[in-house]
Amino acid sequence: MKHVMIPIQAHAFARQFLREEQHYEILKDNFSRAMDEIDFIAFDEPENAIVFIELRYCESIATAYENPRERFNKRRFERLALAFLSKYPCLATYDIRADQLNIVELADGRTLIHYYRNVASIEFS
């Protein structure tokens, strides 16, 4: 898998999309723990959920529509969720899920977004 650096503009565009189109409250940008990192952690009030959002900057329309569940690393997600909730234990009562936001810039300058909800979820006992 080729790693693609996410341009600052794509990160800002994604943040705006999450706030204005999804109506999420962004809790954290670029949260990291050891070698793991997630682009956004947000609160989805209607769903009463804490959402870990992976931003993927795609090189083509085809990769923007690839199913993220096939390559999703649930263990990484669980480690990040545990690390975040250990810092903010008051949020542990909410549902926890992972979403993925794929962005591709088209040749004509337009930006295509494909948003995958609930790529994975976890429950803490």
Name the domain count of the chain: 1
| pLDDT tens sequence across 61-72 | 767 667 767 777
Q: What is the pLDDT of residue 31?
A: 95
Question: Would 97 be classed as within a structural domain?
Answer: yes
Question: Would 17 be classed as within a structural domain?
Answer: yes
Question: Would 3 be classed as within a structural domain?
Answer: no
Structural domain containing residue 22: 8-122
Question: Would 56 be classed as within a structural domain?
Answer: yes
Give CB contacts under 8 A, 24+ apart, made by 68-74: 68/100, 68/102, 68/116, 68/119, 69/116, 69/119, 69/120, 71/1, 72/98, 72/100, 72/119, 72/120, 74/120, 74/122
Find the CATH number of the domain harbouring 73: 3.40.1350.10
Question: Would 13 be classed as within a structural domain?
Answer: yes
H or E segment at 99?
strand 95-105
Alpha-carbon gap, residue 91 to 66, rounded angstroms:
31
Low-confidence stretches of the chain (pLDDT < 50) are: 1-5
Question: Would 18 be classed as within a structural domain?
Answer: yes
| pLDDT tens sequence across 73-93 | 888 899 999 999 999 999 999
